[in-house]
Amino acid sequence: DEVANTQELRKVGKWIDKQISRYEGNCFVVTSRPFGYKESGISRISTVTSVQPLYFEESESFIKNWYLETERKSRALDRKDLGVVREAGVRSGDLIARIRNRPYLRRLSSNPLLLTMIAMVHSSGSSLPKSRAELYDAICKVLLSRQQDDKGIADTIGLDPEQKRLALQALAFK
């Protein structure tokens, strides 16, 4: 999936086929976006599945449960705590209304990964951007500022989120 060159991608596909042949009694799970899989030339896979888009009702359910779990975790309380339930209901209701009223967000919310990112941006207190590009920018900012905190990892390099972003941009370009 991350192999940019089609020739190299086909080499990876042949290697996967070889491993499946060599270790025939084992189960293999290969993950990829559709393009990477289709271009790889892998021939020995018997079952292909794909992530399906969420219906809006499924997105709503996800948001409600995501906020309920996020509130519970942030307060170190039970999911049934009335304060947790109330706050999760308010915050999830706000996000659901915003998605419902913005067609581009509604389209993006059918993708489980993007829906998670939208929820992260919303929960960080950031306003939801008006375009897809602005949303991706907001997602990067949230991830660069919260990721270490959420994992309980001390920031040992002392860079603010914008400095981290500039460093990562230079590295990605290189």
Q: Is 0.85 topped by the overall pTM?
A: no
The CA distance from 28 to 33, in Å, is 17
The pLDDT of residue 53 is above 90: yes
Residue-level pLDDT at 145: 81
pLDDT tens, residue by residue, 18-30 = 999 999 989 999 8
Helices (H), the chain: 6-22, 34-40, 56-75, 82-101, 103-108, 112-123, 132-151, 161-173
The pLDDT of residue 152 is above 80: no
Looking at residues 53-69, what average pLDDT do you find?
Answer: 94
